[in-house]
Structure 1
Amino acid sequence: MKNKIEPCLALSIRRADRIISQAYNDRLSVLGIRSTQFSVLRVIDVMQKASAKDLQQHLSMEQPTVSRALKPLIRDGYILVSEGKNKKEKWLMLTPEGKSLFDQCMIPWRQAQDDLAAHLGPETSQLLHELSNKIVSFKS
């Protein structure tokens, strides 16, 4: 009988993702958003205006996941959707309330970032960024 489970990259990444996501979600929950929504706000803030496809590419998310993250942010008035040159083209921009929420989120985001970096140490934190980029390039 086997007692040892063969290492699985997917399981290892998912386990780490759950812990990391929970650390950010715990901090961001005081503002009523989740880490996926913060990531959407962050990309739009940097780009000034973005399409859903931009979000999919920058966040390595599938379209349904992006839609789920966007829905409450649009509903609550944090993101404005405007039509582009044709009816299919839609642009997403932060409203003043969305920009304010994003700015407020930076404090708990930074706390989660610092907590994890302190636990991992600078070398492991840097290695994690490098490994993440390497993994993302597998699908690009």
Structure 2
Amino acid sequence: MSESARSGTGSRCHCTALRQASRRISQLYDLALAPSGLKVTQRAILARIGRSETTNVGELADALVMDAGGLAHTLKPLIRDGFVTTAPDPQDRRNRLVRLTAAGKAKLKESEALWLTAQRGFEKELGKARSEALHEALGLLIADDFADRFEAAVSRG
């Protein structure tokens, strides 16, 4: 392992540090979820759909802070494996509705204990207070009003 990987990001850029942290944590969660056959991104999608029962692709992408193209790419294996279905929205045929199948609900349930183990491991290593503070800070960063303020600050220079 390189010195920068052991000691931190090696960069002063907030975006770089966040992306590196996200990739590292995703790798660890992927490892924890491996027995289920799901990646953490796939499990997050199944969990979000499960919470909303039925949603459309645009709403799902917004909720996951993803672009619709990236979401479509990530949905393909979930559709192929029979965990998710998509169908035209009868109210607005331009939209596609996304639903969990029975197999998708079962896969989500199967992955729950693995995900909880990853959550506990994260909190054990980072500490409960720091984990909660991080979760709060991340919530602020993904909020639309943060994005609006950031864009305004960048445009002002």
Same fold flag (TM > 0.5): yes
Structure 2: 5+ residue stretches without partners: 1-9, 149-157
Q: Check if 1:127 corresponds to 2:150.
A: no
Paired position in structure 1 for 2:119 = 113
81, 84, 102: which is aligned to 2:86? 81
Mapped to 2, the partners of 1:102 and 1:54 lie a distance apart of 20
Paired position in structure 1 for 2:147 = 139
Mapped to 1, the partners of 2:36 and 2:56 lie a distance apart of 25
Q: Percent identity?
A: 29
Paired position in structure 2 for 1:11 = 16
Moved over 3 A (4+): none
Q: How far did residue 74 of structure 1 move? A: 0.6
Q: Check if 1:20 corresponds to 2:22.
A: no
55, 58, 63: which is aligned to 2:68? 63
Q: Is the 8 A contact 2:11 2:17 kept in 1?
A: no
Question: Secondary structure in 1 aligned to 2:112?
Answer: helix
The TM-score, its normalising length taken from structure 2, stands at 0.82
Mapped to 2, the partners of 1:91 and 1:6 lie a distance apart of 41
Paired position in structure 1 for 2:37 = 32
Deviates more, 1:79-88 or 1:24-33: 79-88
**Across the two proteins, how many residue pairs are aligned to each other?**
136
Mapped to 1, the partners of 2:136 and 2:73 lie a distance apart of 28
Deviations 1:38-76 (A, max 9, x none): 111001000001111121111111122211110000111
Higher RCO structure (Cα 8 Å, ≥6 apart): 1
The TM-score, its normalising length taken from structure 1, stands at 0.91
Question: Secondary structure in 1 aligned to 2:82?
Answer: coil
Mapped to 2, the partners of 1:118 and 1:65 lie a distance apart of 32
